[in-house]
């Protein structure tokens, strides 16, 4: 691997001596490495080298074009705001394509990430970062964006693919997950409601991040203050609920997304409230009534959608998500299912928390929002 990384860094005109590298295991799609160099004057410098997964991203050049446009827009609006900066090759490209491998290199930002977090001020800060991200892109022309993964959060289309794959059942795994599948199919209408509303013109399309796991926020080195939202590969037109729901699905779960203790999965309402307060700080004023009314439901919808994606990948032999052991996607599915069931039970309370946030004008630093 060292030779490949060194070669890639050379192509992106990185100078100095290659010291070492480590693989960053966060992320279920791309392969990411931190490489450490000593520059000409003896200074230590690290870079992030990433191999984009071309099975997930069929047109990675389009991904890079989107990222360039979005980061440029943010830089123009907020000079001095931390952003990812991509290194260029000799011919000024932000990527290097060789065979199946699509490489890019960006700045390493000294920072901390959280996979799970029960510190409510940290959660609130993450919410604020994702809300601010969406606000910064509110005046970005969505027409300029390529659709990097079609129907990415089209829950209906995700269900339809699952149903096709269940019918084909190429590996004979469907009977093993019959219970999970039956439950998911039984809530299909509710899980797809956001998409149905969007199709009926009842929810507006915005520019959304679409992959708002809390570990896609870099925090300062104390781990408290959000610095920047990363992983912009899926920035596309979407619903506000995609970002809100996905963030809650990940950050407000009582256990990790792939915990073998999936029976313990469930919604932590304190984390939910803290994230909502942060997220709504910048977005509250721009949301329509329907958007406000469906924020809690979006958590249920996105959790079901994620379960559909994991179980589908499992029955197809896990071609999409990185796995560490054969049943990894099954464990992830069960964990999402347990979480979705718990969210469903608490929907009324979640809706009340959101209403309280609006009534209290989303006072991020002030008294409790409920």
Interface positions with Mg ion (CB under 5 A): 211, 231
Q: Which does 259 bind (CB under 5 to 8 A by kind): Mg ion, ligand GN1, none?
A: none
Cβ proximity to ligand GN1, 29 vs 185, nearer residue: 29
Q: How far does Cα 153 stand from its chain's mean position?
A: 11
Q: Which does 278 bind (CB under 5 to 8 A by kind): ligand GN1, Mg ion, none?
A: none
Instruction: Give 157's Cβ-side CA count (13 Å radius).
Output: 8
Residue 252 makes CB contacts below 8 A (sequence gap 6+) with: 123, 267, 268, 269, 271, 272, 275, 299
**What sign has the CA pseudo-torsion 280, 285, 287, 289?**
positive
Cβ neighbours around 144 below 10 Å, total:
12
Q: Which does 253 bind (CB under 5 to 8 A by kind): ligand GN1, Mg ion, none?
A: none
Q: How far is the CB of 287 from ligand GN1 (least distance, A)?
A: 23
Q: Which does 313 bind (CB under 5 to 8 A by kind): Mg ion, ligand GN1, none?
A: none
Q: How far is the CB of 102 from Mg ion (least distance, A)?
A: 15
Q: How far is the CB of 349 from Mg ion (least distance, A)?
A: 30
Residue 151 makes CB contacts below 8 A (sequence gap 6+) with: 157, 158
What whole-number distance in Å separates Cα of residue 208 and Cα of residue 133?
8
Q: How far is the CB of 201 from ligand GN1 (least distance, A)?
A: 26
Q: How far is the CB of 14 from ligand GN1 (least distance, A)?
A: 24
Q: What share of the chain is helix, strand, coil (3-state, %, to 5)?
A: 50, 15, 35
Cβ proximity to ligand GN1, 83 vs 212, nearer residue: 212
Which single residue is written with the structure tokens 């991509």? 86
Cβ neighbours around 170 below 10 Å, total:
10
Helix (H, G, I), strand (E, B), or coil: what is residue 227? strand
Instruction: Give 180's Cβ-side CA count (13 Å radius).
Output: 30
Q: Is there a contact between 206 and 30 (Cβ–Cβ < 8 Å)?
A: no
Helix (H, G, I), strand (E, B), or coil: what is residue 136? helix
Q: Which does 257 bind (CB under 5 to 8 A by kind): ligand GN1, Mg ion, none?
A: ligand GN1
Q: Tokens at residue 133, please? A: 């991200």
Cβ proximity to Mg ion, 65 vs 342, nearer residue: 65
Cβ proximity to ligand GN1, 216 vs 259, nearer residue: 216
Task: Give the helix/strand (H/E) hosting 247.
Answer: helix 240-251
Q: How far is the CB of 230 from ligand GN1 (least distance, A)?
A: 9
Q: Is there a contact between 192 and 227 (Cβ–Cβ < 8 Å)?
A: no
Cβ proximity to ligand GN1, 238 vs 281, nearer residue: 238
Q: Which does 28 bind (CB under 5 to 8 A by kind): Mg ion, ligand GN1, none?
A: ligand GN1
Q: How far is the CB of 36 from Mg ion (least distance, A)?
A: 24
Cβ proximity to Mg ion, 166 vs 256, nearer residue: 256
Cβ proximity to ligand GN1, 52 vs 350, nearer residue: 52
Cβ proximity to ligand GN1, 208 vs 216, nearer residue: 216
Residues that bind ligand GN1 (CB under 6 A): 27-29, 56, 211, 213, 216, 231, 233-234, 257, 306
Q: How far is the CB of 119 from Mg ion (least distance, A)?
A: 23
Q: Which does 306 bind (CB under 5 to 8 A by kind): Mg ion, ligand GN1, none?
A: ligand GN1
């Amino acid at each position: 691997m060292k030779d490949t990384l060194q070669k890639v860094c050379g192509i992106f005109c990185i100078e100095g001596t290659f010291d070492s590298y480590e693989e960053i295991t966060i992320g279920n799609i791309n392969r990411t490495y931190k490489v450490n160099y000593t520059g000409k004057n003896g200074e230590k410098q690290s870079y992030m080298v990433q191999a984009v997964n071309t099975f997930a991203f069929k047109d990675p050049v389009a991904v890079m074009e989107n990222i360039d446009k979005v980061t440029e827009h943010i830089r123009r609006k907020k000079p001095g705001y931390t952003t990812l900066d991509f290194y260029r090759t000799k011919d000024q490209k932000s990527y290097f394509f060789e065979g199946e491998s699509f490489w890019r290199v960006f700045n390493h930002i000294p920072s901390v990430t959280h996979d799970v977090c029960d510190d409510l001020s940290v959660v609130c800060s993450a919410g604020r970062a994702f809300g601010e991200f969406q606000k910064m892109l509110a005046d970005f022309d969505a027409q300029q964006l390529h659709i990097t993964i079609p129907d990415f959060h089209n829950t209906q289309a995700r269900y339809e693919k699952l149903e096709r794959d269940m019918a084909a059942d190429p590996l004979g795994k469907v009977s093993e997950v019959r219970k999970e599948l039956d439950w998911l199919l039984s809530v299909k209408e509710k899980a797809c409601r956001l998409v149905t509303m969007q199709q009926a013109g009842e929810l507006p399309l915005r520019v959304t991040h679409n992959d708002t796991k809390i570990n896609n926020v870099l925090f300062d080195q104390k781990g408290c203050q959000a610095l920047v939202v990363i992983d912009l590969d899926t920035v596309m037109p979407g619903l506000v609920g995609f970002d809100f729901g996905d963030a809650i699905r990940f950050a407000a779960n009582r256990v990790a997304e792939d915990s073998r203790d999936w029976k313990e999965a469930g919604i932590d309402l304190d984390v939910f409230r803290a994230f909502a307060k942060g997220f709504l700080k910048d977005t509250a004023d721009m949301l329509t009534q329907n958007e406000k009314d469906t924020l809690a439901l979006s958590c249920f919808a996105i959790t079901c959608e994620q379960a559909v994606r994991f179980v589908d990948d499992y029955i197809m032999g896990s071609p999409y998500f990185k796995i560490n052991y054969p049943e990894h996607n099954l464990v992830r599915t069960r964990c999402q299912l347990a979480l979705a069931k718990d969210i469903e039970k608490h929907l009324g309370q979640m809706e009340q928390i959101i209403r309280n946030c609006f009534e209290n004008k989303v006072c991020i630093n002030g008294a409790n929002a409920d």
